[in-house]
Each structure stands twice: as structure tokens, then as C-alpha cells.
């Protein structure tokens, strides 16, 4: 028997739940990053999480499916890092929702400017999230 049209949805079909600074483990992040970033190696995320201004997570049925980290300079500048969406969840607006939630939370925490670096192919994604392109510089400190 199908419940199609009954008005009930399976938890997997529900909208992911976004949260600012929700509890998060390194194991969850490593699982998400392994699925999302080919070549990811297990990382100790404790120092990253300890230094953040905030993070935003997305969970579907309790499973971590999205993450964005925001660090701050202690003043008016904040920086988006590690925007990650599980491959099964991509192309549905979740990444943009994560970044917009991060921007809203950073504004509440006193940031006046939110910066992000990205590859050219991500320009449309970040434009959809409200960013405008600017010139910037990058210096590689390790080969």
C-alpha cells in the first residue's frame, strides 16, 4: 500500500533541519567530508571547532548532511570556510541555505563583513547566497 497522497512523508523525505552551533563531532564531520571531498583524510576537528565564530549544520533524520564553518577576526570581519553538502543532497538549495543561515548568525554576532574565497566554478553558487565578487589576494605558505 502506498501512502502517496496521504499527506504523510517518510523522515528521509523531510526537509533538512538547519541549526547554528548544534552539537557536532569530529567523526560526523569526517564521515561527511569523506563522502563529499575525494581524498579527504581523517582530521582532528577539535581545534577547528574551538576557534570558530559559529558553525551551521544541516541534518536529515539525524544524519549530518551539510556544514559550514565561520571564523572571525574578533572584530567586524568573518570568513566562510568548508561549505560542504553531502552528494545525495546537492542541487536542492541546501548549500545556499547553509551559507545564508551562517551570514545571518554572523551578523547577529557582530560581523559587518562576511568573506569567502572560492573557485570560479562556484561564482554562481555564492552569488545566489548573496555574495558579490571582489578582488582578493592569496599567498601559499606551504608548497
- Average of per-residue pLDDT across 34-51: 96
In a domain, 138, yes or no: no
In a domain, 77, yes or no: yes
In a domain, 51, yes or no: yes
Condensed to tens digits (0 to 9), the pLDDT of residues 93-113 reads: 999 999 999 999 999 999 999
What integer pLDDT is reported at residue 13 of this predicted model? 64
SS3 (DSSP) at 76: coil
- Supply the range of the domain harboring residue 75: 14-128
Question: Measured over all CA atoms, what is the biggest interatomic distance in the chain, rounded to whole angstroms?
Answer: 60
In a domain, 33, yes or no: yes
pLDDT at 136 over 90: no
Condensed to tens digits (0 to 9), the pLDDT of residues 1-33 reads: 334 344 444 445 689 999 999 999 999 999 999
Cα separations in angstroms, 134 against 16, 83, 118, 126, 131: 31, 19, 11, 12, 9
- Average of per-residue pLDDT across 69-89: 97
- Radius of gyration (C-alpha) of the chain in whole angstroms: 17
In a domain, 50, yes or no: yes
CB 58 within 8 A of CB 94: yes
In a domain, 3, yes or no: no
What integer pLDDT is reported at residue 10 of this predicted model? 47
In a domain, 19, yes or no: yes
CB 99 within 8 A of CB 61: no
* CATH code at position 100: 3.40.630.30
- The 10 Å Cβ neighbour count of residue 69 is 21
Residue whose C-alpha is closest to residue 64's, from 92, 34, 40, 38: 34
Domains of the chain: total: 1
CB 64 within 8 A of CB 57: yes
Chain mean pLDDT for the chain = 91
In a domain, 69, yes or no: yes
Amino acid at each position: 500500500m502506498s501512502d502517496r497522497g496521504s499527506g504523510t512523508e517518510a523522515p528521509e523525505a523531510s526537509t533538512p533541519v538547519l541549526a547554528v552551533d548544534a552539537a557536532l563531532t569530529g567523526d560526523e564531520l569526517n564521515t561527511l567530508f569523506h563522502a563529499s571531498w575525494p581524498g579527504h583524510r581523517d582530521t582532528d576537528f577539535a581545534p577547528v571547532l574551538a576557534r570558530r565564530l559559529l558553525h551551521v549544520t544541516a541534518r536529515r533524520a539525524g544524519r549530518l548532511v551539510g556544514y559550514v564553518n565561520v571564523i572571525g577576526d574578533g572584530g567586524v570581519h568573518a570568513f566562510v570556510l568548508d561549505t560542504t553538502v553531502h552528494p545525495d543532497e546537492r542541487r536542492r538549495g541546501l548549500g545556499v541555505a547553509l551559507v545564508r543561515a551562517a551570514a545571518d548568525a554572523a551578523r547577529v554576532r557582530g560581523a559587518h563583513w562576511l568573506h569567502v574565497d572560492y573557485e570560479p566554478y562556484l561564482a554562481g553558487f555564492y552569488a545566489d547566497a548573496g555574495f558579490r565578487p571582489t578582488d582578493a589576494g592569496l599567498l601559499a605558505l606551504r608548497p
